[in-house]
Chains A and B, each alone.
Chain A
Amino acid sequence: EAQVTQNPRYLITVTGKKLTVTCSQNMNHEYMSWYRQDPGLGLRQIYYSMNVEVTDKGDVPEGYKVSRKEKRNFPLILESPSPNQTSLYFCASTLESSPAFFGQGTRLTVV
């Protein structure tokens, strides 16, 4: 089954404790992205990747890192999480100019 898998689905953490949210897709898509969704602001792109070892900043990259060592995986790293990073996060993958497929989301709370 074609899918994008994120883990964990839910996470509560404390300020400053490094965390990684994993994302994996099995569709051999070149493009992968991370978004955060906040009430009233919609989905905003954090980082995206056009292929292995090629990543670029989205609209709200501050406080986040990503890596793309393999085509299927695109982890999101928060080196020092802060409460303003409490949000709902989605990973997505796609082919160029095609619709995106989303993971089920990760609800992160930073206290």
Chain B
Amino acid sequence: RKEVEQDPGPFNVPEGATVAFNCTYSNSASQSFFWYRQDCRKEPKLLMSVYSSGNEDGRFTAQLNRASQYISLLIRDSKLSDSATYLCVVNPFTGGGNKLTFGTGTQLKVEL
């Protein structure tokens, strides 16, 4: 089983739609969780951190479910500019280092 699993997509949605991505992780001791955005062949950029209580940043909402070991990202009112690959990232943080583990990404295509 992969340490971090995501549905690769692509998710093709019309502009204005709401879309949700899920990501599961295998290490129950994982401490830090993030969503990154990556545009075609460019560097990943932090979209948002994911906190235990859930957090929102504009049209984006992230949630963490430790019991089921998954995190989610909800995008409301999708824009054409949201088209990208979204990477789920987990830090196992086994007590001495920073070893981010990446999912393979979910591709989103927002269409007119």
Contact = CB atoms under 8 A, between A and B. Distances in A.
Nearest to B36: A99
7 contacts: A35-B102, A43-B87, A43-B102, A50-B98, A101-B46, A104-B42, A105-B43
A31 B49 CA distance: 18
B98 A94 contact: yes
Interface in B76-106: 87, 89, 91, 93, 96-105
Interface of A: 31, 33, 35, 40-45, 48, 50, 56, 58, 88, 90, 92, 94-105, 107
The B interface, classified by DSSP as helix, strand, loop or mixed, is: loop
B34 A99 contact: yes
A42 B104 contact: yes
B104 A33 contact: no
B91 A45 contact: no
B43 A97 contact: no
A56 B44 CA distance: 23
B31 A97 contact: yes
B97 A56 contact: yes
Given A99-B34, A99-B49, A105 B41 contact: yes
Nearest to A102: B43
Nearest to B3: A59
A50 B96 contact: yes
A92 B36 CA distance: 13
B98 A100 contact: yes
Given A35-B102, A45-B101, 17 more contacts: A31-B98, A33-B100, A41-B104, A42-B103, A42-B105, A48-B99, A50-B97, A97-B31, A97-B98, A98-B32, A99-B49, A100-B46, A100-B89, A100-B98, A102-B43, A104-B42, A104-B43
